[in-house]
Structure 1
């Protein structure tokens, strides 16, 4: 979870540089150019060459210090392109020749120093060219990974249907943008539906399985009126494509009608339900956190044929101010130096607010502090909140009063 993306609406964790909305493309291009120019200017190598020259001028010891001039082009290979390396090498050779003549260095010794300096410069120029090529290849790979991430784990807007939503996702691989954890949240003709899951294993095989699950889920969520039928479609697809030891734990949820959530838990960690404290649901600033344990535990997706058990639908009341946190084991299995697990339920109770993005930001910061700054497993968090509707509590009373008046008028 070290190199990661942070989704708050469209954002990713760990936080990457955010683009200034007020800056146009020209501004970004100029900034990138300025950074590239600053990075490619061989300032430090030139300073080292100048330092060697000053030391030689101060000591007057001749050839002893001239060998250190090769440090200039060697260092330039790590910060500059081939042209910068050659310029530093030419500067060092010119100054070395001048110092050798000034100090009366024998011709054969000066020639040996300059030959070594030329060889180091040429080798450093080649190393710089190879480094630049590797950086371009890495940049291309990163852009492909970024495109794959957006295709697989699509950004979730801050509002979907009647819900406020926030997502945090992080891949364990240092240079990865995607991993074995998955999530999706889509509005459908049958209400908002979502999935959070964890593929067994890591690396490219896990990414491939995650892509399969998400593809089937997005299609079935639109086609199937019954949430259990959506889960069945995913199960059948995995049974055809996974090995005997592979599986996916997941929670699939749907909002078919106001005031209810349908949940199907397939071997996954139980979601955390947050209900507002007090009688009114007008604010989610504090609340009671309860794990939603499955009433009929079901096996992970891909293992139904081995157990013969089928998942069951669990219906939860979900009204104004309620929140539901779905997560993967990369969060709950994160340990500190004393090997203690992160207490997610306690952290959620401390940081819950009426803004899901703010809640997950606080959880993320506390989680990183718990593990010492770096997570070592894929991790995903998805927080769903039903906003409170002002005056909603008074609506039933007003409706009842109106009905009473109508009945009185009818009787009169």
Structure 2
């Protein structure tokens, strides 16, 4: 508006820049609130009247047309600002509800469970009000510490609802069932009643008992990363591939439990594919195994925070998918 005014005062009425004063309220309606739009609209109308008088157009058809243009654009900008603010308020409300639902669904896990220390990290993808279906839980049962890390196909409230079904079934089964296979069967039955079409949930279950091993049961989920006290780093891949949860109704055999060494000083990182499939601007995936050194911090939460920070630096921007991580560390001594 200042530029238009300066040019009009310099060049005179022959150029016909007077209607361009309406650019002020037009942009105000796109970026500001309704009060700011009204204020700039009033200033625009005043400028239009002033310039019309200066250019000798006051009371003429050109002056009236310019004034009508400014007033019309101001009214349109005001309507756009009011509508945009309403939508922003609705979206903020949805986001708030989504965050509360996510916190209720993913309860804080215990920082310590017997000989184990636990830390979790959950990073939501920046996608309006979307909330994801990544899930995790740790349960102390009579047979040891049991945990689950999983990823529901899809996003939004449907994914959260499915995650709630999985976590509810796991919390009950992890305490009652004699082994992980029975826990997995309970999850399958719960999802069979809930899921429709070809929906599924990838998940890995783990149990740490009295010995120096961890028992794993993998339903098509990315293999956990083991970092031994002696520096050995490896993925704890299952002996055979298995379908995700929710697809067991097709009659294929379920996964078989397998044991891996887990002794004092060792740690295991469970994660969802939002971690390993995070891409850098150059297109490269996040090299989790190469970045295992970031887990060296004595504090598990600080170690996991370092991995998360490294992940964000790798993508140089918001994640395209939710990323959940759970670090299980065996205490020394």
> Shorter-chain-normalised TM-score: which range?
0.7 to 0.9
Deviation sequence 1:43-86 (CA, Å, 0-9, x none): xxxxxx34433443444447833222211211211233323222
Choose 143-152 or 265-274, whichever is displaced more: 265-274
Residue among 108, 111, 136 paired with 2:64: 111
User: Higher Cα Rg: structure 1 or 2?
Assistant: 1
Q: Is the 8 A contact 1:179 1:206 kept in 2?
A: yes
- Residues 1:353 and 2:297 are matched in the alignment: yes
C-alpha displacement of 1:376? 3.1
**CA distance in 2 between partners of 1:99 and 1:158 (Å):** 70
Cα deviations by residue, 1:94-127 (Å, 9 ceiling, x for unpaired): 2322232233225222222212111111111111
2:29 aligns to what? 77
Kindly tell me: are residues 199 and 99 of structure 1, through their superposed partners in 2, closer, same or farther at Cα, counting changes over 3 Å?
closer
Match of 2:145 in 1: 192
Compared CA separation, residues 136 and 386, structure 1 to 2 (3 A) = same
2:287 matched to which residue of 1?
A: 343
> In the aligned structure 2, how far is the partner of 1:166 from the partner of 1:273?
15
Distance 2:11 2:39 in 1: 26
Partner of 1:68: 20
Q: 2:199 and 2:51 mapped to 1: Cα distance? A: 70
Report the counterpart of residue 152 of structure 1 in structure 2: 105
CA change 1:374–1:140 in 2 (3 A) is: closer
Residue aligned with 1:107, SS: coil
Which of residues 224, 244, 249 in structure 2 aligns to 1:300? 244
Q: Distance in 2 between matches of 1:249 and 1:100?
A: 69
CA drift at 1:130 = 0.7
Supply the distance in 1 between the matched residues of 2:71 and 2:122 (Cα, whole angstroms): 50
Kept in 2, the 8 Å contact 1:194–1:253? The answer is yes
- Corresponding residue for residue 386 of structure 1: 330
- The structure-2 alpha-carbon separation of the partners of 1:63 and 1:126, relative to structure 1 and needing over 3 Å to count, comes to farther
The alignment's TM-score, normalised by the length of structure 1, stands at: 0.70
Q: What's the TM-score, normalizing by structure 2?
A: 0.85
Find out whether 1:123 has 2:76 as its counterpart. yes
Partner of 1:89: helix, strand, or coil?
A: helix
For this pair of structures, how many residues does the alignment match?
332
The Cα shift of 1:231 comes to: 1.9
Find the counterpart in structure 2 of residue 181 from structure 1. 134
CA contact (8 A) 2:125 2:319 kept: yes
Pair 1:134–1:325, CA change in 2 (3 A): same
Match for residue 270 of structure 2?
326
Change in 2 beyond 3 A, CA 1:90/1:369:
closer
Question: Per-residue displacement from partner, 1:256-282 (whole Å, max 9, x unpaired)?
Answer: 3364433222232221221112xxxxx
Q: CA RMSD in A?
A: 2.9
Residue 245 to residue 131, structure 1, CA distance change in 2 (3 Å):
closer
- How far off its partner does 1:323 sit? 0.4
Change (3 A) 1:288 1:117: same
Counterpart residue number, 2:168: 215
**Matches for 1:4-403 after TM superposition, within 5 Å:** 49-61=1-13, 64-108=16-60, 109-156=62-109, 158-172=111-125, 174-176=127-129, 178-243=131-196, 245-257=198-210, 259-277=212-230, 287-295=231-239, 298-336=242-280, 340-349=284-293, 351-371=295-315, 373-388=317-332, 392=333
Contact (CA 8 Å) 1:167, 1:382: kept in 2 or not?
yes
Residues 336 and 84 of structure 1: is their aligned pair in 2 closer, same or farther, counting only changes over 3 Å?
A: closer
Gaps of 5+ in 2: none
**Long gaps (5+) in structure 1:** 1-48, 278-286, 393-412
